[in-house]
Chains A and B, each alone.
Chain A
Amino acid sequence: MINQRTQCILLSFVMIGFTSLQLFWNGQAYLNGFKNFHYIYESLGLLLSHAVHPH
């Protein structure tokens, strides 16, 4: 039986492999989110300020 530390190392390697593949396939898609994300918190801020000080 493989000891726990070795099991953990093997599992870590598999996780790194799986994650790398995911990042290779979809990493750019995730990063694209940063292009538009500022609109979200800016508009929520705008809504909040409008609620506090309506025109």
Chain B
Amino acid sequence: MTILLILTAFIFLSYYLLFIRLKIDSSHQKIILAGLWGLGQIILTQLFLGITKLLYLPALIFLNIGIALVLVVCSCIFKGNILITVQQEFRKIAGGIRNAVSFENVFLLILFGFVFIWMATAIYFFPARNGDDLTYHLPPVFEYIINHKIFLLPVEINKRFAFPENAELLFMWPAVFLHSQQFVNSAQLIVSLWGGVIIYGLAKLLGIRSKISLFVSLLFLMTPVLMSQMGSCYIDITVSVFTLTVFYCAVMFYKSKSSIYFYSTALAAGLLWGMRYNECIFILMVIPFLFAKKPFRSRQWFGFIFIFLMAGSFWYLRNFWVLNTPIYPLPFSQDSLSIYSAHWENVTLGQFLMLIPSKLFLLWKDTGLGSLHGGYGLIFLGLALPAWFYIWTTSIIQRNRLNFWIYSLLIIGVGQLMWVSLKDYIWTARYSIFIVAIGLLALGQVLIIFDQIILFRRGIKILCVLFAVLAVVHLSENIPSYRIDKIIKTFVDGRYLTQQDWGERGSARGILDYLTMNDPKPLNCDTAMIFHPHLILSPVYGTKLQNKMWVFGQDKSVKPDVFIYLRGMDWSLWPDDSDLKIILEEQRINSDYLLVFQNSYSFLYMRKDFFKDPQKMQLLINYKKNVMEAAPVLAH
């Protein structure tokens, strides 16, 4: 853990130091650039080692230390005393903080501090527990770590394994260091904080003064869907923050003509392209910014394209190599998952257009509120959206091209959601979280424009603070739950044994995890869920990634050591033609296996041989004593 924290900080600080020496003006600009290049390094070094089948921890550490040391050495050879430069930087940061302090900002900072502690506690105690985490974001990451290489998992098991995975490589960073799932859901929390700085940077770019800039960036962090996803392994925050980074770098280049921002745009765009298929829309949108200024020499454009392709093209090449198509599943096909994990509806153009008002209404009604699928919140939908209408219209009337382009991002963000079918719309809002940031920037500009009208200014600020409090309070009602009370009580009572023992369905996984946690030899595990064989995979690997998935193994003739079935006991629910039902029947009568646990949600079979070791039986008894006293059945 210490190595992870020190190395991550060292990577970030090495870039920060480099950007100090490259005379990047403001501290927030340096944080944004250091964050971008630092995260880029984290993603790309893992990718490089994964492709070359060298994804071992020592190799990853030495490669990253090597790159960071080169950056530090490069920073030191610039003219001027480095210590004086660092001192000046500290003074600059302190001055910047003083400029941004206001009553409402201090209140929001304290409120966010509370949210941060809450989320960090939830990340520590809870496992990754949301549908997409368990089914396709995390299993590839764990397979890459176990096999020390990056490859394509069988798409017959889940088509989503073929999605681009740059964002997932951020989840891999703590997991590869700790060889554990424990902090795998911390990445989005860190990216959110960095996203807050990007909103601050964008606000400053639009001429909003420091206090209001900090105000809107803190409000962004209080967005319900953002808070809801902070402790998850969904990738929507990461994708949205990188979308904003692409725009930030492009606009900074437009304003400063600095080649640092030119190449940073390439890196951000490449990384974004490697996170989700449809993000190329935004990359096309920033091209005008890049061409609007002085024409570039072909050498520089070559550098741009090289960085862009290096950062994002691998997943497309991999798909082309293995599946003969760069994008899989193909968008707009009958059985496809569309360009997101949601489904595409096969309708005529007329029907498509007719559905748009209904979709906009659902979006406006904030139907996903209270889940990680949606929740733009009262501040955005109540206050920032009218402000956006005002600023966007004004930008057209005043022919302010820059504002028009930046604020049009909201239309593109909403527009890309129209491809999702109406029945899937309830979980659509999360794909465009960045539109909240665009709305909040407009709110910040409105506060500046009507600064003289005190009643308006104060009224908006009070409402924003109140709504931020409501959003934080509402998080305690969220699904998946951030209710940490029960688990903390378990921990304080000394009954907290494993992170995987979460919720009723977690019990079978919890036992498996507890029994195998310190085993040097992995167990071969299989899992099935009604209608979906091999769907929810990641908990079965165990907290310390100690188990293997039978379904990804080469030799299928050897039966698994462990079976976990979910939503199990009512066999009438299993389809008659399901092979799984036959396997279940076999399992029940097979004398090699022991039904170790069953409840109304799950049941766990393990090979009897496993319990030849008396310690294992003792562990099982210990588990029952500590955790399952209230559980319905423990079969022997």
Contacts and interface: CB of A to CB of B under 8 A. Distances in A.
Are chains A and B native binding partners rather than an unrelated pairing?
yes
Contacts of B474: 29-30, 32-33
Given A14-B386, A55-B494, A8 B476 contact: no
B523 interface: no
A19 B450 CA distance: 19
Nearest to B450: A8
Interface residues of B, number: 41
A32 B389 CA distance: 31
B463 A19 contact: yes
Given A11-B387, A15-B460, A26-B378, 19 more contacts: A4-B450, A12-B459, A15-B383, A23-B382, A26-B366, A29-B369, A30-B473, A32-B477, A33-B476, A33-B477, A39-B484, A40-B483, A41-B114, A43-B489, A44-B488, A47-B488, A47-B491, A47-B492, A55-B492
Contact of A50 (B370, B477, B492): B492
B381 interface: yes
B73 interface: no
B384 to A, nearest CB: 9
A39 B476 contact: yes
A47 to B, nearest CB: 5
B365 A18 contact: no
A35 B478 CA distance: 12
A40 B484 CA distance: 6
B489 A19 contact: no
B378 A44 contact: no
Interface string B248-267: 00000000000000000000
Contacts of B473: 30, 33-34, 37
A36 B488 contact: no
B449 to A, nearest CB: 7
Main SS at interface, chain B: helix
A5 B382 CA distance: 20
B492 A46 contact: yes
A25 B365 contact: yes
B390 interface: yes
Nearest to A16: B382
Contacts of B491: 47, 50
Interface string B447-478: 00110010010011001000000110111110
Interface of B: 114, 117-118, 121, 365-366, 369-370, 378, 381-383, 385-387, 389-390, 446, 449-450, 453, 456, 459-460, 463, 470-471, 473-477, 482-485, 488-489, 491-492, 494
Given A42-B485, A43-B488, A19 B366 contact: no
Nearest to B470: A30
Nearest to A20: B382
Contacts of A8: 450, 453, 456
Main SS at interface, chain A: helix
Contacts of B456: 8, 12
Nearest to A10: B390
A19 B470 CA distance: 13
B492 A18 contact: no
Interface residues of A, number: 34
Q: Can you list the 4 inter-chain pairs with the closest CB atoms, starting with the nearest?
A: A19-B382, A33-B473, A33-B474, A39-B485
Contacts of B385: 18
A19 B446 CA distance: 17
Nearest to B452: A4
A32 B477 CA distance: 7
11 contacts: A14-B386, A15-B386, A19-B378, A30-B378, A30-B471, A33-B474, A36-B476, A37-B473, A40-B482, A43-B484, A47-B491
A46 B491 CA distance: 10
Contacts of B471: 30
B366 A18 contact: no
B583 to A, nearest CB: 41
B413 to A, nearest CB: 18
Contacts of B390: 7, 11
Given A4-B450, A36-B476, A46 B470 contact: no
Contact of B449 (A4, A30, A41, A42): A4
B475 A33 contact: yes
Contacts of A47: 121, 488, 491-492
**Max count, chain B CB within 10 A of own CB: residue among A4, A19, A25:** A19
A36 B477 contact: yes
A46 B488 contact: yes
B386 A18 contact: yes
A26 B483 CA distance: 21
Contacts of B114: 41
A37 B115 CA distance: 12
A40 B492 contact: no
Contacts of A7: 390, 450
A33 B479 CA distance: 12
B318 to A, nearest CB: 42
A25 B368 CA distance: 12
B222 to A, nearest CB: 12
B594 to A, nearest CB: 35
Contacts of B476: 33, 36-37, 39-40
A47 B475 CA distance: 19
Contacts of B492: 46-47, 50, 55
A11 B369 contact: no
A44 B453 contact: no
A41 B114 CA distance: 9
Contacts of A35: 477
Contacts of B475: 33
Nearest to A38: B476
Contacts of A40: 118, 476, 482-485
B387 A15 contact: yes
A11 B435 CA distance: 20
A36 B498 CA distance: 25
A14 B388 CA distance: 12
A34 B365 CA distance: 22
